[in-house]
Chain A
Amino acid sequence: MALAQHMVGRSLGDRVILGAVVALAALWIAPVAWVVIVSFKPNSELMMSTASALHPPYTLKNYTDVAATSGVFHWFLNSIIVAGGATTATLILASLAGYGFARTDFPFRNVLFVLVLLGLAVPEQALIIARHQLFTDWKLHNTYIALILPGLSNAFGVFLMTQYFRSIPKDIDEAAMLDNASRFKIFWRVLLPLTIPAQATLGIFTFLTYWNDYLWPLISATRPEMFTLTVGIASTQTNFAQSEGLGFLMAQAVFAGLPVFIVYLFFQRYIVQAVAGAAIR
Chain B
Amino acid sequence: MNASVWPNAGVANKPAVTEDALKIFTTLLLASVALIGGAGLSFGADKTEISVARFFGACEADYGNVTDVNKGYGECGIITAMMNKFNAESPDTHVKVDIVEWPGYDQLTARIRSGEPPTISVMHESVISDYQSRGLLEPLDDGLKAVGIVASDFTAAAKAGVIKDGKIFALPFDTHTWLWHINLNLFKQAGLIDSAGGAILPKSANELLAQAKQFKEKTGKPYFIMVLANETAAYTRTFDTLLYQQGADFFADPNKVKFASPEGKTALTLLKTLYDNGDITKNEDYSATVSGFAAGEGGVMINGTWLVNDYVVEAKKPGVPLSNGYAVAPFPQLYANPKVWADGHSWVILKANLTDAQRKSAYSFLKFLWDNDFQWARTGHLPASQKVIDSADFKALPFRSVLAPLSVNGTALPAAVRHQFGVQDIEGEEVASAMRGDKTIDAALADMEDRVNKLLQSK
User: Is A241 in contact with chain B by the CB < 8 A criterion?
Assistant: yes
CB neighbours of A179 from chain B (8 A): 1-3, 5-6
B102 pairs with A240, CB closer than 8 A: yes
Q: A44 to nearest B CB, angstroms?
A: 10
Give chain B residues whose Cβ lies under 8 Å from the Cβ of A175. 5-7
| Interchain CB contact under 8 A, B14 and A196 | yes
> For residue A243, which residues in chain B have a CB less than 8 angstroms away from its CB?
286-288, 290-291
Chain B residues contacting A246 (CB-CB under 8 Å) are 287
Question: A80 on the interface (CB 8 Å rule)?
Answer: yes
Tell me whether A222 and B15 are in contact (CB under 8 A). no
A-B contacts at CB below 8 angstroms, number: 141
Chain B residues contacting A142 (CB-CB under 8 Å) are: 114, 116
A81 to B28, CA, bound (A): 8
When A203-B21, A244-B57 are in contact, do A197 and B15 touch as well, CB less than 8 Å? yes
Q: Is A169 an interface residue (CB 8 A)?
A: yes
Residue of A at shortest CB range from B11? A194
Q: Which residue of the partner chain, among A178, A219, A241, A248, contacts B110 with CB atoms under 8 Å?
A: A219
User: Contact between A68 and B64 (Cβ–Cβ < 8 Å)?
Assistant: yes
Asked whether B22 is an interface residue with its Cβ less than 8 Å from the other chain, the reply is: yes
Distance of A241 Cα from B57 Cα, bound (Å): 7
CA A142 to CA B56, docked complex, whole Å: 24
Report the minimal beta-carbon distance from A8 to chain B, rounded to whole angstroms. Answer: 41
Q: At the interface, yes or no: A172 with Cβ under 8 Å from chain B?
A: yes
Asked, given contacts A81-B33, A239-B285, A244-B287, whether A88 binds B116 with beta carbons under 8 Å apart, the answer is no
> How many residues belonging to B are interface residues under a CB distance threshold of 8 Å?
55
Residue of B nearest to A143 (CB): B114
- Interface-centre pick from A203, A222, A245 (highest chain B CB count, 10 A): A222
B24 to chain A, nearest CB (A): 9
Residues of B near A241 (CB, < 8 A) are 57-58
| B230 contacts partner chain A, Cβ-Cβ < 8 Å | yes
With beta carbons under 8 angstroms apart, the residue of A176, A194, A223, A240 that contacts B57 is A240
The answer to whether B29 touches A178 (Cβ under 8 A) is no
Nearest A residue to B53 via CB reads A224
Report if A200-B114 is in contact (Cβ < 8 Å); known contacts: A48-B295, A193-B8, A242-B285. no
A224 to B107, CA, bound (A): 10
B231 within 8 A of A: yes
B19 within 8 A of A: yes
Contact of B287 among A68, A77, A239 (CB under 8 A): A239
Q: How far is the CB of A71 from chain B (nearest CB, A)?
A: 9
> Would A47 and B287 count as touching, CB distance under 8 A?
yes
| Contacting residues of chain B (6-32) with chain A, CB-CB under 8 angstroms | 6-8, 10-12, 14-15, 17-19, 21-22, 25-26, 28-29, 32
Q: Determine if A141 is an interface residue (Cβ-Cβ < 8 Å).
A: yes
**Chain A residues near B5 (CB-CB < 8 A):** 175, 179
Instruction: Give chain A residues whose Cβ lies under 8 Å from the Cβ of B99.
Output: 224
Near A by CB (< 8 A), chain B positions 157-205 give none
Q: How far apart sit A82 and B58, CA to CA, in the bound complex (Å)?
A: 26
| Interface mask (A79-113 → B, CB under 8 Å = 1, otherwise 0) | 01100110110010000000000000000000000
A69 at the A/B interface (Cβ < 8 Å)?
yes
Cβ-closest chain B residue relative to A43: B61
Contact A91 B295 (CB under 8 A): no
User: Which residues from B are CB-within-8-Å of A176?
Assistant: 6
**Interface positions of A from 8 to 26, Cβ below 8 Å from B:** none
In the complex, besides A48-B291, A80-B32, A135-B114, 12 extra interface pairs with C-beta distance below 8 angstroms are A48-B294, A77-B36, A91-B22, A142-B116, A169-B10, A200-B18, A235-B100, A239-B230, A239-B286, A239-B287, A245-B59, A248-B61
Chain A interface residues toward B at CB < 8 A: 47-49, 61, 65, 68-69, 77, 80-81, 84-85, 87-88, 91, 135-136, 139, 141-142, 168-169, 172, 175-176, 178-179, 189-190, 193-194, 196-197, 199-200, 203, 219, 222-224, 235-236, 238-246, 248, 267, 270
| B interface residues, Cβ below 8 angstroms from A | 1-3, 5-8, 10-12, 14-15, 17-19, 21-22, 25-26, 28-29, 32-33, 35-36, 56-61, 64, 76, 98-102, 107, 110-111, 113-116, 230-231, 285-288, 290-291, 294-295
Q: List 7 A-B contacts (CB under 8 A).
A: A91-B22, A141-B115, A168-B10, A197-B11, A197-B14, A240-B76, A243-B288
Closest 9 CB pairs of A and B: A243-B287, A69-B60, A196-B14, A141-B114, A65-B61, A239-B286, A222-B110, A240-B57, A238-B101
